[in-house]
Amino acid sequence: MSFYSKKSPLEIFEGKNIVIVTAHPDDEVFCIAHVLKEIQTVTKNISWINTTLGQNSIDSKYFESSNQTGIIRESEFIESMEKLKVDKYLHLKIPSYLSSELPVETMSKIQREIDNCDYLFLIDKNDQHPDHYFTTKSFEKLKNKNQIFYYNVQKVTLNKKLNYFYSSFNEQLFEQLIGVYKSQSHMEVSFDSYKKVFSKKVFIYNENIN
């Protein structure tokens, strides 16, 4: 793990409580799971929040209803958490493709969890996928910006003004987690593309590390 800051990543996360946020079941496959495996050895506690059902999956046409897709993807998410050895997780079950921020009543329910964490991990703030964008936009309001890390599989967002580190893309872990998400088998070509294009590094950045 390499870092472009005054502190090492393991020093930053040692003994800390961390909340990781994803927008869909399977987002962890491409990004944050690879970093998670490295920092789990030093953190005090890691909790996970997934916001949407992901029922607008392309594969939904193969199921009886989008509701059924959501149920299946939730079960896959739970299996993924078990494989990643994350014991504390919450699935908010918000419908996909929001046109606004996450519901206020939903965010108020998790405010205490966010208040009690030292660092919050969110999807790259410049990611324009509707579910990704509104998830990050909503959660950013719950935490001081110097306590937020953003994750991405590309270096598109990064510049010299940001503090960031990168972790190796763990292909073995990737294959293991992809095996969990059988409902996403239609993405086999996309998965292969990820391995070829993004197999080198997973980036995590923070705007205000001292």
Q: What is the pLDDT of residues 89-119, one digit of tens each?
A: 999 988 877 667 788 888 888 999 999 999 9
DSSP state of 185: G
DSSP state of 163: E
Under a CB-based contact definition with an 8 Å cutoff, are residues 13 and 39 in contact?
A: yes
Torsion of Cα atoms, 141 then 12 then 110 then 22, to 10°: 80
What single-letter amino acid sits at 67?
N
Tens digits of per-residue pLDDT, 141-159?
999 998 999 988 665 555 5
Tell whether the torsion through CA atoms of 115, 119, 125 and 128 is positive or negative.
negative
pLDDT band at 38 (very low <50, low <70, confident <90, very high): confident
Average pLDDT (67-71) is 76
Under a CB-based contact definition with an 8 Å cutoff, are residues 149 and 118 in contact?
A: no
User: What pTM does this model have?
Assistant: 0.87
Helix (H, G, I), strand (E, B) or coil at 4: strand
Q: Tell me, what's the pLDDT at 66?
A: 62
Could you tell me what percent of the chain has a pLDDT over 90? 32
